[in-house]
Structure 1
């Protein structure tokens, strides 16, 4: 039985052009935008796409309203071709960075204020000690805005938490911290011999804004367990939340990483690990992107032994 013939490419002299045209069309959703991005004419893009479909023998794109979307076969090709195209396009820059090493350059990272304040200081300190000539930029944004910057290539890494990982991004968790209830010392919830999730219903909560992951997590768990709750105050930043809790304006639910010795006298806490999943923190990168040596060096420093785990006594104070 004769074997099935392999696809024959009419663009054998330069297979990269039609693949680049295809990837840009999928990414941008139109031939005209792909043409603008590649600084070529629309007819040239159309011819390259037609040749690619003819050579592979399957339709690769279909119109979905005003946008061009990949077919099932097109999605397979996009997943295979994008890393190749991006690696070729980034070859010169990657080569120069490899040759120059880490003695120069810059690294842009996105993270929210809590991550910058509580998770990153030791990591940044270690990175600066090893690579003092690299200009490091920390963009203080919520995680959703950070992933937007990642897609725009405005940053190379996002450090934080993702509950739902989009198909075009990769997330690797490096740390996990339990969720804890915080309240002023002597608060009734701290004194209960056995805390139940329903006990939270009688006390107003102080939470980050709804667009942030913590609010979504708290809302999800309480809704699933049919526990009614009241949010007395929405405010950004764990330090601000802790201040208002210490003033007696409500209680809150925070990851254990943001509790330390300065909080010992003004706050009490107790574990909510029986009710809430642990909060993960890790690195988000864009799939297919070739990371710079600076980015790889920073990621190598993100490991759990940089942060000694906190142990808590029965009252919820850190014993570290």
Structure 2
């Protein structure tokens, strides 16, 4: 069996069974992709794809199993190439995929220190929603993902928690809640709320607390990141719950913050890495700058099972 057959098989699956898109991704022709798929099925004496009227509709039961091993075989091949490149060079590009909030408040200190120590390594930062970050890592378009830990992840990636951040309530200056002796969910529910989008972990966590308490809350704005939320709070559109690390000294000129860790669970951030992949030296170095809780031994054990 040839690696090109495995590449075509996985590419067709990744392209939602569209051979035209798969051929473009592989920089080849549609007939070539079809030929490799046919040869692979003939060699295995098994139908891997469900076809109807000349179209591919999905995977057979056996195709589902073969896909797992095909991806693993291609990953092992890439690991060999990566290990060889890593032994020859101490430069290159390190691509990070993250959210706007994490880019601004969590990974910036690590980037500053990393670039001071390794000026020959170029940093690339891609931003997106948690599911997009996970997909960038899964597809190899990003080396590291840094996001609020999502409930669901592709099985090809692993999430390693490294930061637990208490939540704080932000409000405009001279807001009634600024001098309230004790904050409760019931008191917060009286005011318009600015939250992250409901499909984001932070937004789900905040709104979930009100749901569990059977409290209705008026959401005035759904935003994508803490900076937009702070701007809208300062404009008087409502109050918001944000990670404590996103409230800085400069924000005190137009906002007031109070601890609400007794009401809301801390937000957990995690790094996302591709499972069973070769971890380059620069990735290890960056993770150790990001957090003391990400030593090489822990990361290696969780990603590769210690198989170095």
Coarse TM-score class (shorter-chain normalised) = 0.7 to 0.9
**Which ranges of structure 2 fall in alignment gaps of 5 or more residues?**
295-308
Root-mean-square deviation (CA, aligned residues, Å) is 3.2
Q: What CA distance in whole angstroms lies between the structure 2 residues aligned with 1:209 and 1:30? A: 31
Q: Aligned equivalents of 1:42 and 1:153: distance in 2?
A: 24
Q: Which residue of 2 aligns with 1:250?
A: 238
- CA pair 45-38 structure 1, distance change in 2 beyond 3 A: farther
Counterparts of 1:186 and 1:245 in 2: how far apart (Å)? 12
User: What is the CA distance between 1:251 and its match in structure 2?
Assistant: 1.0
**C-alpha contact 2:143 2:273 (8 A) present in aligned 1:** yes
2:8 and 2:33 in contact (8 A); partners too: no
Per mean C-alpha deviation after superposition, the further-off stretch among 238-247 and 105-114 is: 238-247
> Is 1:69 matched up with 2:59?
yes
Following TM superposition, by how much is the alpha carbon of 1:194 offset from its aligned partner in structure 2, in angstroms? 3.2
Instruction: Work out the CA distance in 2 between the residues paired with 1:190 and 1:240.
Output: 21
In the aligned structure 2, how far is the partner of 1:163 from the partner of 1:183?
27
2:87 to 98, 113, 123: 98
Provide structure 1 residue ranges, at least 5 long, that are not aligned to the other structure: 1-10, 307-320
- Deviation (angstroms), 1:224: 2.9
* CA radius of gyration, larger in: 1
- Asked if the contact 1:205/1:229 (under 8 Å) is kept, the reply is yes
Q: CA deviation at 1:289?
A: 4.1
Question: Across the two proteins, how many residue pairs are aligned to each other?
Answer: 286
1:193 aligns with 2:158: no
State whether structure 2 residue 271 is matched by structure 1 residue 283: yes
- Write the mapping of 1:1-320 to structure 2, written as runs, cut at 5 A: 11=1, 16=3, 19-30=6-17, 32=19, 37=26, 39=28, 40-52=32-44, 54=45, 60-62=48-50, 66-71=56-61, 73-89=62-78, 91-100=80-89, 102=90, 104-167=91-154, 168-264=156-252, 266-304=254-292
Deviation (angstroms), 1:99: 1.5
Query: What TM-score does the superposition give when structure 2 sets the normalisation length?
Result: 0.77
Q: Secondary structure at the match of 1:284?
A: strand
CA gap of 1:42–1:252, structure 2 versus 1, over 3 A, is same
Contact 1:82 1:288 in 2 (8 A): no
Q: Does the 8 Å contact 2:170/2:233 carry over to 1? A: yes
Q: Which residue of structure 1 lines up, in the alignment, with residue 298 of structure 2? A: none
Describe the SS at the equivalent of 2:189. Answer: helix
List per-residue Cα deviations over 1:251-276 (Å, max 9, x = no partner).
11111111232234543333333332
SS across alignment from 1:216: helix
Query: What is the CA-CA distance between 1:228 and the residue it aligns to?
Result: 1.0
CA distance, structure 2, for counterparts of residue 163 and residue 51 of structure 1: 40
The 2-side partners of 1:86 and 1:191 are apart by 57
Q: CA deviation at 1:166?
A: 2.0
